[in-house]
Amino acid sequence: MTAVVAERLRAGTRGWHDALEATRFATAMADGTLPLDRYVGQLTAYRVVLEALEGELSCAASPSVARVWSADLAKLPFLERDLRYFAESGIAPKPWAADETAAFAQEIRRTAASAPQDLLGFLYVLEGSTLGALVLRPYVTTAYRLRTADGVAYYGSGDRDRWARFTARMNQALTEPEAQDRVITAAQRAYHHIAAITEALSVGLPAPNP
Q: pLDDT tens-digit profile of 50-59?
A: 999 999 999 9
**Category of 167 on φ-ψ map: left (φ > 0), alpha (ψ -120 to 50) or beta:** alpha
Confidence at 70, pLDDT banded by 50, 70, 90: very high
Confidence at 11, pLDDT banded by 50, 70, 90: very high
Let me know: does 205 contact 23? Beta carbons within 8 Å: no
Let me know: does 205 contact 28? Beta carbons within 8 Å: yes
177 Cβ contact list (under 8 Å, min separation 6): 2
What's the whole-number average pLDDT of the chain?
95
Let me know: does 112 contact 186? Beta carbons within 8 Å: no
Q: Of the candidates 45, 62, 72, 29, which has an alpha carbon nearest to the alpha carbon of residue 186?
A: 62
Q: Which amino acid is at 133?
A: A
For the chain, give the number of residues.
Answer: 210
Percent of all residues in the chain with a pLDDT value above 70, rounded to a whole number: 98
Task: Give the start-end residues of each E strand in 23-147.
Answer: none
CATH numeric code, 5-202: 1.20.910.10
pTM of the model: 0.94
User: To the nearest 10°, the Cα dihedral for 102, 104, 109, 112?
Assistant: -170
The number of beta carbons lying within 10 Å of the beta carbon of residue 177 is 12
Confidence at 2, pLDDT banded by 50, 70, 90: low
Higher pLDDT, 130 or 181: 181
> Region 179-208: what's the mean pLDDT?
96
